Amino acid sequence: MKNGKRTLPVLWIALVLLIGALSAGIPVNDVTNAQSGLGTPSSVIVNSASETGADKVSTDLLDLARDPRTRGNRVKVILQLKDSPSGSLNSFLHRSDVSIKRQFQNFNAQALELPATVVEKMAAHGEVKFVSLDRESGTFGHISLTTGADAVRNTNGVTTTGLDGTGIGIAILDSGIDPTHTAFLDRNNGRRLIVNKDFTGENRTDDPYGHGTHVASVAAGNGRISSADYIGIAPNASIFNLRVLNSVGTGTTSSVMAALDWVMTNHTLYNIRVVNMSLGTPAVDSYKNDPLCQAVRRLVDAGIVVVAAAGNNGKDSYGNKIYGEIHSPGNEPSAITVGASNSFGTDARGDDSITTYSSRGPTRSYWTDASNIKHYDNLIKPDIAAPGNKLIGAAAPGNYLLTTYPDLDAGVSTLDNYQMMYMSGTSMATPVAAAAAALMLQANPTLTPNLIKAILMYTSQPLSGFNMLEQGTGEINIEGAVRIARLVRTDLSSLTPLGSPLLTTTTAPTPQTIIAGQTFTWSQGLILKYDYATGIDLITKYQKVYGSGVLVSDGVMLSNGVLVSDQTMLSSGVLVSDGVLVSDGGVLVSGSIFLSSGVLVSDGVLVSDGVLLKDGVLVSDASLGGDSIAQAMSAATNGDTTKVINLIVDTGVDCLNY
């Protein structure tokens, strides 16, 4: 830019236009803060964003592009586009020093490698929406009875084939799956790994790392081993092995996006209804700009349920609680984000708690305006919690995790294709929820992802002593969720009027479930962005936020700085509460306020429980995409106190009547 050639009137016009653009794009509660930045010299304001494209570059990438120590390096990035590249941008992308690594068929995005020095120049083109680093991603890492899954497969105490995921495809984006393990056979000895694809470049789809095999068995492992003691939640679902993490458990944003791109292209052909993402990367950019979040939204809008791990950064090295560590794509509003609970090895749920390592909300991803002011998403996450501590699942033979941490061997069998191992983390909780969604879809294939998410939240069990930023609405309850799924009308559509009957019955289901002789009451509420909604209308009347192409959180809007219900999206019987609640062991709405909404939705630094929420900076193992493997492995061997589990050692005789 040549400032010396600009006339004074032109400068004033540019400044006025910039002020207008800033005011138009900033939420009500952020206008004052943003305008405070207008006291800087006009030349600084113009240079900082509008002409260099800096406002369309993620902060960590911008640092690399401007730091004298790194700006000479080549960087791998994800380029998101508004329109197809043309003219000067097309020429730029065909420069000799720019390499296109991947183009995504269903997302208007590309993976590139280019000099850091030219990132801002590329971002300045009008067709560019956002540019971010191709960040590393990594893993986070008696169940069928305690979650309520057994209850949907039992009639008068007798196990039947019932709901077992038959016909529903679950895509497992992970470190691969061992194809020889007995846990993945069907009742006719056929393999349920329908498709195996590698996106890491290692040209293999087995599981040398060991994470994906365990995750897949929690979701869909059969009951052949040890008389079905370690059966998965949906034991006959079709499994799609999409390997995005390499032999040491790491991957890239672009490899994960490539797998999501494949799902988007092929989901109708294979009836893939659910995607499990027991992985993550630091949530730096707002979900509005994050390429993984944008890809997830595209899938959800197409009718695919996406379930994501919250992360394992709930405490620091001193054991103190940490808030604000939800990872991407768990920070995406349309995803079902899952935290980890501890069942303590018991079927009854009265002693269940949230694990110390499970990441807490709110989401601290952000966008930066032209005045360099950060605006945090601050969404309440996770959405729900599920058992994730010391789960026993299938072990790939000779895998890295088991070899490195031999105490993870559950001692169930010495045979390679029968071996089981312990693992802990939100990675293990996520497939519980993903498989629950598969059972709900088997019961009622017409359910939308938003409705599945709403039902899972509404029927969950609030755990005493934990706030919403730790557990969402509560611990998953598959019995209650499937019971409602069976009652939901199958003729609902975008044309269904707001407030129409949601169920095929006029009598609302009793909001209670009995597991292992204990009765608990459902949460009977939904998390809506910053707040909590309750009311019988949520389950008896059709809400527009249950449709496709919208968000469940679209039912809440900001009006003059106050959060109110949007009654074009939510019926008048839905009540929106004020703040994040602490459960008293009953209904969450009866708990005490943990943070008022006025605090939660503000920008800046939040303080809660005496612990400072990171100001958009993650203190985690960045090499593993925000996951602390040390915490997950420690939890699996010593971690959160776990009662002794009576292991059922495999006899070597397959149990076929599971």
Beta strand spans in 140-248 (E): 154-155, 158-159, 169-174, 193-198, 238-243
Q: Write the CB contacts of 423 (distance below 8 Å, at least 6 apart in sequence).
A: 141, 211, 214, 390, 391, 393, 401, 408, 632, 636
Q: How many CA atoms lie within 13 A of 478 on its CB side?
A: 34
Catalytic residue among 174, 198, 290, 383: 174
Give the number of residues written for the chain: 658
Read out DSSP for 529-575? Answer: TTEEEE-THHHHB--GGGSTTS-GGGGEEEETTEEEE-TTTS-TT-E
Active site residue 211: yes
User: 565: which 2 tokens?
Assistant: 């219900």
CA-nearest of 386, 442, 435, 49 to 231 is 435
Phi first, then psi, for residue 581 (nearest 5°) are -105, 150
Neighbours of 263 (CB within 10 A): 23
214 is catalytic: no
Candidates 132, 278, 358, 427; catalytic one: 427
Tokens of 634: 């420690």
CA dist 298 and 303 (Å) reads: 9
94 belongs to the catalytic site? no
What's the Cα-to-Cα distance from 373 to each of 28, 293, 380, 518, 603, rounded to whole Å?
15, 22, 22, 50, 9
- Give the distance from CA 118 to its chain's centroid: 32
Q: Which residue has the tokens 């899952």?
A: 338
Structure tokens at 364: 């601290």
Cβ atoms 280, 337 nearer than 8 A = no
**Residue that the structure tokens 């449709």 belong to:** 547
Phi then psi for 120, rounded to 5 degrees? -65, -35
State the catalytic residue, choosing from 125, 181, 211, 375.
211
Token pair of 77, please? 């990035």
In Å, how far are 53, 207, 248, 614 from 4, measured between CA atoms?
21, 61, 54, 41
Locate 165 and state its tokens. 């995921």
What amino acid occupies position 417? N
Q: Residue 480 is which amino acid?
A: G
**What is the C-alpha separation between 32 and 41, in angstroms, rounded?**
18
The residue type found at 265 is: T
DSSP state of 3: G
Query: Which 3 state secondary structure label does DSSP give 650?
Result: coil
d(CA 459, CA 512): 8
Catalytic residues: 174, 211, 427
